[in-house]
Amino acid sequence: MAKRKILVPIDGTERSMHSLEFIKGIFDKDSVEIEIMNVKELVFIDGISLSEEIKNSEALGRKILDRAQEIMEGYDVSVYFTFGYPGDEIIRKSKEDDIDIIVMTKSTKKGLTRMIGSVTASVVKQAKCIVMIVPE
C-alpha cells in the first residue's frame, strides 16, 4: 500500500504544533510521508520590502521547521519554507506535491495577524484533497 502524503502547515505556536502530535496519534510511521511547511507573509512599506525583516523571518521559519522535525523523529518528514499568503501557498503546495491530506489546527493567533482561522477556511474551500482540522 502506498504511503499517504500529508501536508502540515505550522506557524510555530503551540496550537499549530499540536497538529504534529495529532498525526502521531493516528498515523503509523510507516504509512505516511509528512511535509511540514511554514509560510511567512511579506510586509511591504511603500512597496519596499525590508531585507533584514526577510532574513529574520526566514531564520525564524527554519527554526520552527527544525523543531517540528524533532517532534516527528522516526517519521518520513520533509520541510518547506516560503514567503506568500498562507492560504494560497498551502493550496499550491498541496497540488504541486499531490497531497492526500492537509492537517491544520482550528485557529491560532500570532501577533496582530490571525494566521489560521481565515486561512483554514480558505484552504477548506479550495482544497482538492481531505482537510483535517485539529481541535485546540
- Which domain does 117 fall in, by range? 4-134
What is the average per-residue pLDDT within 117-132? 90
pLDDT of residue 130: 96
pLDDT of residue 118: 81
Per-residue pLDDT band at 120 (split at 50, 70, 90): confident
pLDDT at residue 135 above 90?
A: no
pLDDT at residue 66 above 90?
A: yes
Q: CB of 102 within 8 A of CB of 133?
A: no
Residues 13-48 have pLDDT tens digits of: 888 899 999 999 999 999 999 999 999 987 666 655
What is the average per-residue pLDDT within 66-75? 96
CA-CA distances (angstroms) from residue 28 to 24, 33, 51, 68?
Answer: 7, 10, 41, 17
**What proportions of the chain, in percent to the nearest 5, are helix, strand and coil?**
40, 30, 25
- What is the C-alpha to C-alpha distance for residues 67 and 124, in angstroms, rounded to an integer? 26
Number of domains within the chain? 1
- What is the C-alpha to C-alpha distance for residues 70 and 80, in angstroms, rounded to an integer? 15
**More confidently predicted of 134 and 99:** 99
Q: What is the CATH number of the domain that holds 116?
A: 3.40.50.620
Report percent pLDDT > 90 for the chain.
65
Report percent pLDDT > 70 for the chain.
85
pLDDT at residue 86 above 70?
A: yes
